[in-house]
């Protein structure tokens, strides 16, 4: 009985000593892993052997342990000699179970042949490749970065493992979005083509019956004017005026739709010549209002001449139309070169952009409408007070955008309006 008790006590002491040594070993391994020790003294029989851990490796060991990527060191046979905590977390295994295993057992079967090629190639030089890590039924796309290490014990292979899950998910979403965008663009192109065809056909077909209404209304007015009362003549004149507005509206819609269909040809154009032509076109209206159009030293821009002429025509026409009754209209057009494509960019004699300013002393408008004036059919005044279809500024904005430019407007009621246009000197 005493002998059994003594045996039990000896076993308990041995067990306690084994636990102490195991705990000490764990502490030593953790100290080595985190760089807390620089050397180990190991007893071998009656002698002691010193194993040094270079102090220069201290920061490196801490960095490897704390990095978010997985890090491994493999033997020449592909056995895992070292693994950091991130790799353990990646595959959901304790580090004590990972050390000593062949790394290839964590590679999916589909990628195993490719990994073996990478492993073989890496001993001759650094290389990278994408594979899938397979563990516990889960697949994780990763990038392997392989580098040969020169250690005191010989050469080994360092592998940095980067999780590509987020990148792959983002890439898939981007590809899906691109497919949807391509489909939407194709649908939009078809819709735009159909809309342009409709606008062209509708505008053309609408003009024929409108022309007959105008023609017969004028015939009726001329032939029956002696037999009609003043009220009836007024009705006829309203019909004729309405058909004129309808015709102008149809033409403007047709012009707007054509802007979407044709890019046009961009050629160097002297804006001074364009403005001189327009002054001649508006000669009677300018004389009637005793107005002035002032411009000089305008640059040569690479533009579609017909479209840019329409821009100036729309803006000058608006300035003359919305002038004050008691004050002759003055329209001043100036230009300066800019360093950047911005209304507020600084002036630069060698700049690649031009700021055109068209300023008048007309009736102006509230600046809360500074954006909406460029919308289709937007009118700030009753059609009985001022002529127009409400499409002119929409066409102007679209032309400027097709020239890769910007347009803004500032206005003060009773003071006047200033349009600012930024255009590149040359089209890309």
What pLDDT does 334 receive? 94
- Does this chain's domain 188-259 share its CATH topology with 263-424? no
Reference 374, options 411, 340, 341, 344; nearest CA is: 411
Pick the CATH number of 188-259 from 1.10.287.130, 1.10.260.40, 1.10.3720.10, 3.40.250.10: 1.10.287.130
Residue of 74 and 306 predicted with greater confidence: 74
What pLDDT does 345 receive? 87
What pLDDT does 24 receive? 57
Q: Say yes or no to pLDDT of 110 above 50.
A: yes
What pLDDT does 50 receive? 44
d(CA 301, CA 369): 30
- Best mean pLDDT range from 13-17, 351-355, 396-400: 351-355
For domain 263-424, the CATH class is alpha beta
Strand 292-295 versus strand 330-338 pairing type: parallel
Res. 425 pLDDT band, cuts 50 70 90: very high
pLDDT digits (tens, 9 = 90+) for 35-84: 554 444 444 455 544 444 454 444 445 555 666 788 888 888 889 888 88
Res. 293 pLDDT band, cuts 50 70 90: very high
3-state SS, one letter per residue, for 408-427 = EEEEECCCEEEEEEEEECCC
Give the residue extent of every domain in the chain. Answer: 2-52, 67-163, 188-259, 263-424
- Residue 239's H or E segment, with its range, is helix 230-261
Res. 338 pLDDT band, cuts 50 70 90: very high
What pLDDT does 202 receive? 63
Please give the full DSSP string across 377-401, using - where no structure is assigned. Answer: T--SS-TTTS---S-HHHHHHHHHH
d(CA 136, CA 307): 67
Q: Say yes or no to pLDDT of 406 above 90.
A: yes
Task: Count Cβ atoms below 10 Å from residue 301 Cβ, excluding itself.
Answer: 25
R_g of the chain computed on alpha carbons? 42
d(CA 10, CA 147): 51
pLDDT digits (tens, 9 = 90+) for 200-222: 666 666 777 777 887 888 888 78
d(CA 257, CA 266): 19
Report the mean per-residue pLDDT for the chain.
Answer: 78
pLDDT digits (tens, 9 = 90+) for 121-161: 888 888 888 989 888 778 889 888 888 887 766 788 888 88
Each residue of 7-43: b (16+ CB within 10 Å) or e? eeeeeeeeeeeeeeeeeeeeeeeeeebebeeeeeeee
What pLDDT does 38 receive? 47
**Six-digit token pair at 347?**
């002036």
- Widest distance between CA atoms in the chain: 149
Query: φ, ψ for residue 307 (rounded to 5)?
Result: -70, -45
The answer for residues whose C-beta is within 8 angstroms of residue 372's C-beta and 6 or more apart is 378
The CB-side HSE value for 339 (13 A sphere, CA atoms) comes to: 5
Q: Helices 392-402 & 230-261, crossing angle to 10 degrees?
A: 10
What is the pLDDT averaged over residues 15-26?
A: 60
**Six-digit token pair at 61?**
């060991």
Pick the CATH number of 67-163 from 3.40.50.1980, 2.40.128.20, 3.30.450.20, 3.30.420.40: 3.30.450.20
Are 365 and 411 spatial neighbours (Cβ–Cβ below 8 Å)? yes
What pLDDT does 346 receive? 85
Residues in the chain: 428
Each residue of 160-197: b (16+ CB within 10 Å) or e? bbebbeeeeeeeeeeeeeeeeeeeeeeeeeeeeeeebe
What pLDDT does 405 receive? 93
């Amino acid at each position: 009985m005493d002998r059994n008790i003594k045996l039990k006590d000896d076993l308990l002491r041995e067990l306690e000593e084994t636990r102490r040594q195991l705990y000490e070993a764990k502490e030593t391994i953790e100290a080595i892993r985190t760089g807390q020790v620089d050397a180990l003294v190991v007893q071998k029989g009656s002698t002691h052997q010193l194993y040094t851990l270079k102090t220069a490796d201290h920061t490196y060991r801490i960095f490897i342990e704390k990095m978010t990527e997985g890090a491994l060191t493999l033997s020449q046979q592909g056995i895992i000699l070292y693994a950091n905590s991130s790799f353990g977390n990646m595959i959901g295994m304790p580090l004590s179970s990972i050390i000593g295993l062949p790394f290839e057992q964590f590679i999916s079967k589909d990628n195993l042949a490719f990994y073996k090629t990478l492993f073989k190639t890496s001993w001759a030089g650094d290389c990278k490749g994408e594979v899938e890590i397979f563990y516990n039924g889960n697949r994780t796309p990763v990038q392997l970065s392989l580098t040969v290490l020169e250690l005191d014990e010989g050469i080994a292979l360092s592998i940095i493992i980067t999780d590509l899950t987020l990148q792959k998910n983002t890439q898939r979403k981007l590809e899906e979005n691109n497919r949807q965008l391509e489909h939407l663009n194709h649908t939009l192109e078809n819709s735009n083509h159909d809309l342009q065809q409709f606008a062209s056909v509708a505008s053309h077909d609408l003009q024929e019956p409108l022309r007959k209404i105008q023609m017969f209304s004028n015939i009726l007015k001329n032939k029956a004017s002696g037999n009609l009362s003043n009220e009836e003549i007024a009705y006829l004149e309203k019909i004729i005026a309405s058909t004129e507005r309808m015709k102008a509206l149809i033409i403007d819609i047709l012009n707007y739709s054509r802007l979407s269909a044709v890019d046009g040809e961009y050629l160097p154009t002297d804006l001074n010549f364009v403005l001189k032509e327009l002054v001649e076109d508006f000669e009677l209206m300018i004389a009637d209002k005793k107005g002035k159009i002032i411009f000089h030293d305008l640059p040569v821009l690479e533009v579609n001449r017909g479209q840019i002429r329409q821009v100036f025509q729309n803006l000058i026409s608006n300035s003359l139309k919305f002038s004050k009754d008691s004050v002759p209209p003055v329209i001043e057009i100036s230009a300066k070169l800019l360093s950047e494509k911005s209304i507020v960019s600084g002036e630069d004699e060698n700049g690649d952009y031009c700021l055109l300013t068209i300023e008048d002393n007309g009736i102006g408008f509230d600046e809360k409408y500074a954006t909406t004036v460029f919308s289709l059919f937007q009118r700030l005044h009753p059609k009985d007070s001022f002529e127009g279809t409400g499409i002119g500024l929409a066409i102007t904005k679209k032309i400027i955008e097709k020239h890769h430019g910007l347009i803004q407007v500032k206005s003060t009621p009773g003071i006047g309006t200033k349009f600012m246009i930024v255009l590149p000197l040359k089209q890309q």
